[in-house]
Amino acid sequence: MREVLGDIEQWRAAGDAVALATVVQTWGSAPRQPGAKMAVSASGRIAGSVSGGCVEGAVVEAAKQSLATGHPGLLSFGVSDESAWSVGLACGGNVQVFVEPLSGDIFDSVRDAAAGRRAIAIATVVSGAEGLIGRKLWLRDDGATGGSLPEPAAVHLREALAAGTSRRAVISGSEIFLDVLMPPPRLIVVGGVHIAIPLIALAKTLGFETILVDPREAFANASRFPHADRIVTEWPDAALAEIRPDASTAIAVLAHDPKLDDPALMTALRGAAFYVGALGSSRTQEKRRARLREAGLTEEALARLYAPIGLDLGGRSPEEIALSVMAQIVAARNPRRTGIKRESRDG
């Protein structure tokens, strides 16, 4: 839901009721994955997508109907369903979409979790006894909870939140969708070098929150980095301690200066970031690793380092190198799908 939070907040502030459509299951070549969202306001405004265009029209009509009646519903589209052909899903894919009026409690809970960079999981009954459809239970990673469903649902919810993946479950004859919303991805770039300019711009395009860290104001300023959400002109170790990278954070260390790079890596590799990469040739990396070992960094921590940084795409321009770095970050964020390993290039 985080991709549509801003639009929903504006609509609700204007007094516009909102229906939320969520992909809860897919088969075959359906273009969006479970958890994808589309919001529809009572006045007809739309944000997000549940199919990349194939079934949007039918879902919008169902969302308006849900707002009018106050009742949620489960929609199914597939090649064996005549309605699927009428909305364009004729490529072999199947999708189920749950449509419901958006409750203020759920919206506030997700908005607060996003603001605090907390993960939150929401269990919703999508089929079963009519009196249960649409009922919810939510759980945040700090233990805060709300809503009401039987204890087996809470067990599934805790497991889904711990795994960080959305899924479907069956409890006492009712199907529930466990929607896990992780904090939005964030990229911290250490070093306001030339490569950092296209890297931050590309990360912003891909939906990452972007933070530049460099104590040198001549390198780190808004005119040089207009796409940065935040610029921190402190030494990297102090900056990272204040920012507190989490499991949705990637860190690219680009300064190519041991005075900046080494403190950044000592802090980053001991933290929770899902990706830590460092610029430099293989020889530079060998010297860097030796310094970090001497400073007390363990082999286990060093094994987390992506270095030399980026996939070997053969590019040489700052823009091409930025693309290789961002491609590796995306691959690291989706390891089960890509199979990309740290030893992906030689320098």
Q: Rg of the Cα trace of the chain?
A: 23
Show the tokens assigned to 55. 């079934």
Q: Which residue has the tokens 């597939």?
A: 78
Amino acid 250: pLDDT: 97
Angle 252-255-256 from CA coordinates, rounded to 5°: 110
Angle between helices 318-333 and 196-205 (to 10 degrees): 50
Residue 247 or residue 92, greater confidence: 247
Buried b / exposed e along 152-183 (16+ C-beta atoms within 10 A): ebeebbeebbeeeebbbbebeebbbbbbbbbb
Dump strand ranges (E) for 102-223.
120-127, 136-140, 145-147, 167-171, 174-181, 186-190, 209-213
Confidence category of residue 347, pLDDT binned at 50, 70, 90:
very low
CATH number of the 186-338 domain = 3.40.50.720
Amino acid 53: pLDDT: 65
Q: Supply the mean pLDDT for the chain.
A: 88
Angle 307-312-313 from CA coordinates, rounded to 5°: 145
| Percentage with pLDDT > 70 across the chain | 90
Residue 86 or residue 38, greater confidence: 38
Residue 50 or residue 217, greater confidence: 217
- Tens-place pLDDT, residues 176-232: 999 999 888 999 999 999 999 999 999 999 989 999 999 999 999 999 999 999 999
Task: Assign 206 to helix, strand or coil.
Answer: coil
Please check the confidence at residue 339 and state whether its pLDDT lies above 70.
no
Amino acid 20: pLDDT: 96
Please check the confidence at residue 26 and state whether its pLDDT lies above 90.
no
**Average of per-residue pLDDT across 109-135:** 91
Helix (H) or strand (E) holding 27: strand 18-27
**Average of per-residue pLDDT across 91-112:** 87
In the chain, domain spans: 1-102, 103-183, 186-338
Q: CA of 89: how far to CAs of 25, 32, 39, 101, 126, in Å? A: 15, 12, 20, 25, 22
